[in-house]
Structure 1
Amino acid sequence: MLNEVLTNPTRLTGKVALVVGGYGAIGITISEMLAAAGATCIVAGRNGERSRGLAKELHARGWKAAGAEVDACNVEAVRELTDVLVKEHGTIDILVNCVGFHKEQPFLEVTEDAFDEVYAKTLRVGMFLSQAVARHQVAAGNGGSQVHLLSVRSSLGFRDRGYSSMCAAKGGLAILMKQQATELAPHSITVNGVAPGAVRTCKNDHLLRDLAALQSAVTNIPFGRLATPGDVAGAVLFFVSPLARFTTGQLLYVDGGITAGI
């Protein structure tokens, strides 16, 4: 085992990885990286056409992939999907949860409906998605790994911005991740979180072409730049690789040093 790890420290050959939200701005790169590492990547999300489209692109590049449609907020649908995937692929070795939702509102203007929606589409999803996959991983008895995509806002507030709902949901998921890790550790299942700071993606690239906006965005980042989707995906790959088989319940900040200077 040690020689294999030293030779291919991040290889995922023979593993099946379920990436929920895998066609999103950061999820795409995570799906690509896991597939390139040798895993069969199951790209899942509410939009089945986009899931299958990305899987087709990955397959065309010589990687193993498939697409699946699922509303991650629908617990029964999530359970049905995991049942189907285990029947089709034999296992789900890896779960990457890229699902999250944000609605910005100043604290004094936060509505009950908005708060509940962010909770339901972030914290609640993380609970029951992890549970559905863990049931199969525990039954199989072969261990496994799970990663939740979090945020530096899991631990830090955001001055002059209305992030109450997001901070609450992501912060809740961060501590839930630790509880999941403690309960699943006896089954050799690791559960960890990756917490990016600001990430430059296709969604915000047009805004950051303005030099003043870009300089403002990186002002408090010691590295002097924003994260890339590849930076985030690399952290995910570490957690699901053999290198991290004894690492669980950890929150890895991919923030260019912001939290180091707090």
Structure 2
Amino acid sequence: MNVQTIEAGSRHPMSLHGKVALIVGGYGAIGTTISEVLTLAGATSIIAGRSGDLAWALAAELATQGFSAHAVELDACDVNAVHAVSASLKQQHGSIDILVNCTGFNKEQMLLEVTPEAFDEVYSRTLRAGMFLSQAVAAQQLSVKRGGSHIHLLSVRSSLGFRNRGYSAFCAAKGGLAVLLKQLATELGPYGITVNGVAPGLVRTQKNEKALDDPAAFKRATANIPLGRLARPEDVAGAVHFFASSLSRFVTGQILQIDGGLTAST
């Protein structure tokens, strides 16, 4: 993708120079683009997730281009690890200014098929992970008293069901995260910390590219989208960049739907 670099010293309102960004799940199909956009905007980016190898590979690629990118292995379901890694990153890079939570998981099962184990895994890797990532980063931000921003990656399924698909656990977890971020915005607002969400619909990625090349499949996927196409990773990354920048300093507790008008027309 073609990402614009924002030079150091720039007064561009989207500049992130001098900011430290923790991007959890920052090497997936969407997370990679988010990591690239924030890094090229000037942030010192820390790419984190369960696969240390994937995180390090992306960080190394960005670093060889002259950008400040680092990586750490982190299981966001492990609360003790979340707090330990957060403390370690503060010592190495300074307090985290920007948290981007790209975690999430779905085990597709219709209601009568959902097992407690499957539900608990979706809940743990989606809602619980988001809760304790924000807790750990907020603790840092409150200690240094300079504000910050938290951006959680949601889904249009945070507010809409999915007919004939087994999304009950996923919708519950993402919907819970959508309400949680509003509560966190209320609690953290007095300290200058904003908390917002980005909720994409179906995003066209390398994983689904081949299937969507079929005209019939593409027509079905876009039938209810007024803009007539699917989201791209850069559409999602642009919204995250906005919430991470000074342009959104008076915006908190909000969820931006990146869905081409799907939720507006449903």
Displacement of 1:62 in angstroms is 2.1
- Which of residues 253, 257, 260 is equivalent to 2:261? 257
Tell me what 1:149 maps to: 153
Q: Is the 8 A contact 2:195 2:252 kept in 1?
A: yes
The worse-fitting range, judged by mean Cα deviation, of 52-61 and 248-257 is: 52-61
Q: Aligned pair 1:198/2:202, yes or no?
A: yes
Aligned identity (percent) is 63
Instruction: Give, in whole Å, the separation in 1 of the partners of 2:147 and 2:247.
Output: 14
Structure 1 distance, partners of 2:138, 2:205, is 31
Question: Which ranges in structure 1 are unaligned for 5 or more consecutive residues?
Answer: 1-5
Distance 2:229 2:112 in 1: 32
RMSD (Å) for aligned C-alpha atoms: 1.0
Tell me the secondary structure at the aligned position of residue 156 of structure 1: coil
Question: Who is 1:183 aligned against?
Answer: 187
What is the aligned partner in structure 1 of residue 33 from structure 2? Answer: 29
Separation in structure 2 between the aligned mates of residue 49 and residue 258 of structure 1, nearest angstrom: 36
TM-score by length of 2: 0.95
Task: Report the Cα distance in structure 1 between the residues aligned to 2:86 and 2:206, rounded to whole angstroms.
Answer: 30
Query: Matched residues in 1 for 2:48 and 2:85: separation?
Result: 9
Match of 2:134 in 1: 130
Please say if residues 141 and 147 of structure 2, whose CA atoms lie closer than 8 Å, have aligned partners that are also in contact.
Answer: yes
Q: Matches of 1:143 and 1:255 in 2, distance apart?
A: 30
The whole-number CA distance in structure 1 between the counterparts of 2:149 and 2:116 is 34
Letter in 2 for 1:261: S
Instruction: Output the amino acid matched with 2:183.
Output: Q
SS of the residue corresponding to residue 71 of structure 1 reads: coil
Is 1:244 equivalent to 2:236 in the alignment?
no
Match of 1:160 among 164, 167, 189: 164
C-alpha separation in 2, matches of 1:81 and 1:216: 43
Q: What is the match of residue 46 of structure 1? A: 50
User: Any idea what SS the aligned residue of 2:123 has?
Assistant: helix
1:248 partner SS? coil
- Residues 5-20 of structure 1: pairs in structure 2 closer than 5 A: 7-20=11-24
Q: Runs of 4 or more off by more than 6 Å in structure 1? A: none
Match of 2:238 among 217, 228, 234: 234
- 2:224 aligned partner: 220
Correspondence list, 1:61-80, <5 A? 61-80=65-84
CA–CA distance in structure 2, aligned partners of residues 170 and 69 of structure 1: 24
Task: Could you tell me which runs of 5 or more consecutive residues in structure 2 were left unpaired when the two chains were aligned.
Answer: 1-9
Residue type at the aligned position of 1:221: I
Amino acid at match of 2:213: R
**Paired residue secondary structure (1:91):** coil
Partner AA of 1:131 in structure 2 = Q
* Alpha-carbon offset, residue 7 of structure 1: 4.1
Query: Normalised by the size of structure 1, how large is the TM-score?
Result: 0.96
| 1-structure distance, mates of 2:212, 2:265 | 24
Q: In the TM superposition, what are the counterparts of 1:83-122 in structure 2 within 5 Å?
A: 83-122=87-126
2-structure distance, mates of 1:124, 1:202: 28
Map of 2:5 onto structure 1: none
Structure 2 counterpart SS, 1:96: strand
- Provide Cα deviations, 1:42-73, integer angstroms capped at 9, x if missing partner: 00011111111100011122211001101111
Q: Is the 8 A contact 2:224 2:265 kept in 1?
A: no
Give the whole-Å Cα distance in 1 for the aligned partners of 2:262 and 2:150. 25
Partner Cα distance (1:247, 1:18) in 2: 20
